[in-house]
């Protein structure tokens, strides 16, 4: 008989490994768990976890210090540079 996993551990590693940052134009940046948040490995944006589910919505994301909007993130600027180069 297996014990039910604690509520906060509902999001297992396999599930986490499939998630990608919704802000990343390439959809390649992975997310790592940090307490009750997910942190993007690419742009360091934090996404809240509410009731066991990550809120992967750019508008709700917490930007790194010194950034006021999503377009200031390095991954966005990289994408824009690529666009301009074409
Ligand atoms: Zn990101």
Give the tens place of pLDDT for each residue, 34-66.
Answer: 999 999 999 999 999 998 889 999 999 999 999
Ligand 1 centroid–CA 15 distance in Å is 17
Ligand 1 centroid–CA 62 distance in Å is 11
Average pLDDT, the chain: 87
Look at residue 69 and tell me whether its pLDDT is greater than 60: yes
How many CA atoms does the CB half-sphere of 45 hold within 13 Å?
30
Look at residue 4 and tell me whether its pLDDT is greater than 60: no
Ligand 1 centroid–CA 7 distance in Å is 26
Cβ(61)–Cβ(23) below 8 Å: yes
Ligand 1 centroid–CA 52 distance in Å is 20
Ligand 1 centroid–CA 45 distance in Å is 6
Q: How far apart are CA 44 and CA 29, in angstroms?
A: 10
Pairing of strands 31-34, 46-50: unpaired
Provide mean pLDDT across the span 2-18: 69
Percent of residues, the chain, with pLDDT higher than 90 = 63
For the chain, the straight-line distance linking the first and the last C-alpha, in angstroms and rounded, comes to: 59
């Amino acid at each position: 008989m297996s014990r039910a996993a604690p509520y906060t551990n509902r999001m297992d590693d396999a599930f986490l490994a499939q998630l990608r940052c919704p802000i990343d134009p390439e959809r390649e940046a992975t997310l790592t768990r940090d307490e009750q948040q997910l942190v993007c490995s690419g742009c360091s944006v934090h996404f809240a976890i509410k009731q066991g589910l990550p809120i992967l919505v750019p508008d709700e994301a917490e930007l790194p210090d010194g950034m006021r909007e999503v377009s200031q993130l390095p991954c966005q600027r990289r994408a824009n540079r690529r666009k301009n180069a074409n």
